Amino acid sequence: MWSIIGHSLALAALERALTSERAPHAWLFSGPEGIGKLATAVEFAAALNCMRPDGAEAASLQKPCGECRACRDTLAGRHPDIEIVAPGGICDEPEHREHADSRDLRICQIRRLEHVLSLSPYAGGRRVAIVDAADTLRAEAANAFLKTLEEPPAGAVIILLAEREERLPDTVLSRCQKLTFRPIERTTIVEALIERGATPDDAVAIAAAARGRLGWAFQAFEDPSLLEERELMLDQALRLAHAGRVERFGWAREAEGRAPGIRERYLRELSVWESWWRDVLLFGAGGSEGAENAGREPQLREEGRLYTASDIVSFLRVLTQTREYLQENVDPQLALENLMMDLPTTGRLGRLATGR
């Protein structure tokens, strides 16, 4: 049975594929990080190899049984015919066996995957490749993958996972059956967290911050440091909104050192900022329902009085663009300094002081 919470439309499509004689061999699961794409892909892989209790292949099974050896091995991450590829993984090139610091999927990883898919299934079922962060495929890697996507070895299934499908070439998109993973209802996340042992207050707070990402919500429940980091980032967003240019540029200058994980840290921070400024816009318009940071209502009401809606909307656009820059090879410090130039200023005097 599926253990996936929500995503009923996606699961229904996968169930139809499991019983179809003409099921797609290449899939694209699209949606935000932590939304449940990887968990669903793993369970789909389990269903593709699921066996009846008597050992016969369950060709008509619509979902994984979760009890046979193939299901148990897949869900435990040890099935020999299920391959998960992600940035930083291994390849077969003798001079660079792994790329631990890489943010992109490389052509050498794709070549290794193609070789693995060409082998006969070890357990006699189906080869399944799950390509995580497929939207980081470099151009040469994506081009090298096209033939395999269009005509994979017999019985092989390929599942691409992507946060931003628009970054994938059209030639890749056209070869895949797309499933979009939408944010999960906040009440559903609250219920799931309470079932895991969260208090109602904690469940509500985590669900509000999760932005419909159940996987992130579970992580935050298990690791309170995620919420602690988020609170610090909200403090930073509020502080810099009222800071001078020197302090703002000092924040951006922290990216100068290119420390490991610096881009990822700033990407997380800008995501939190986006939630903050959307809430400021919401409260400035007199609303409050659906706020992701409702625990800071007094601050949000005060901030909502200080900015024009057009200034906030413009900054949100710049925030989105800056996150795109950070995911590419743009100098992070330069991108963040430009962001600081566009932070909204409070009132007419603030705009005059910055020449806006």
Per-residue model confidence as pLDDT tens digits over 122-168: 887 899 999 999 998 888 889 999 999 988 898 899 999 999 898 89
Rounded Cα gap, residues 347 and 73, in angstroms: 60
| CATH topology assigned to domain 224-353 | Zinc Finger, Delta Prime; domain 3 (1.20.272)
Q: What is the pLDDT of residue 354?
A: 44
Q: What is the pLDDT of residue 348?
A: 40
Minimal CA–CA distance to 248: which of 236, 235, 232? 236
pLDDT of 349 above 50: no
Which pLDDT band holds residue 38 (cuts at 50, 70, 90)? Answer: very high
**Dihedral over Cα of 263, 264, 270, 274: its sign:** positive
CATH classification number, 8-180, choose in 2.60.200.20, 3.40.50.300, 1.10.1040.10, 2.10.109.10: 3.40.50.300
Task: For tokens 């079922």, name the residue.
Answer: 125
Helix and strand numbers, DSSP H then E, in the chain? 16, 5
Rounded Cα gap, residues 326 and 313, in angstroms: 20
For 173-177, 189-193, 264-268, 348-352, which range has the lowest pLDDT when averaged over its residues? 348-352
Which pLDDT band holds residue 26 (cuts at 50, 70, 90)? Answer: very high
Q: What is the pLDDT of residue 40?
A: 96
Rg (CA), the chain: 23
Which pLDDT band holds residue 350 (cuts at 50, 70, 90)? Answer: very low
Q: What is the pLDDT of residue 352?
A: 38
pLDDT of 33 above 80: yes
Q: In what order do the strands lie in the sheet with 177-180?
A: 82-85, 128-131, 157-162, 26-30, 177-180
Q: What is the pLDDT of residue 96?
A: 65
Q: What is the pLDDT of residue 351?
A: 43
* Average pLDDT of every residue of the chain: 88
* C-alpha angle 335-293-278 in degrees, rounded to nearest 5: 50
What is the average per-residue pLDDT within 261-269?
85
With a CB cutoff of 8 Å and minimum separation 6, the contacts of 249 are 337, 340
Domain residue ranges in the chain: 8-180, 224-353
- 217: tokens are 């919500």
Task: For tokens 């919401």, name the residue.
Answer: 282
What is the average per-residue pLDDT within 246-263?
79
Kind of pairing, strands 26-30 and 157-162? parallel
pLDDT of 356 above 80: no
Amino acid at position 171, single letter:
T
Minimal CA–CA distance to 313: which of 347, 291, 281? 281
Rounded Cα gap, residues 72 and 199, in angstroms: 31
With a CB cutoff of 8 Å and minimum separation 6, the contacts of 236 are 251, 269
Task: For tokens 């609303």, name the residue.
Answer: 287
Per-residue model confidence as pLDDT tens digits over 74-111: 999 999 999 999 988 887 776 766 666 677 888 889 99
pLDDT of 347 above 70: no
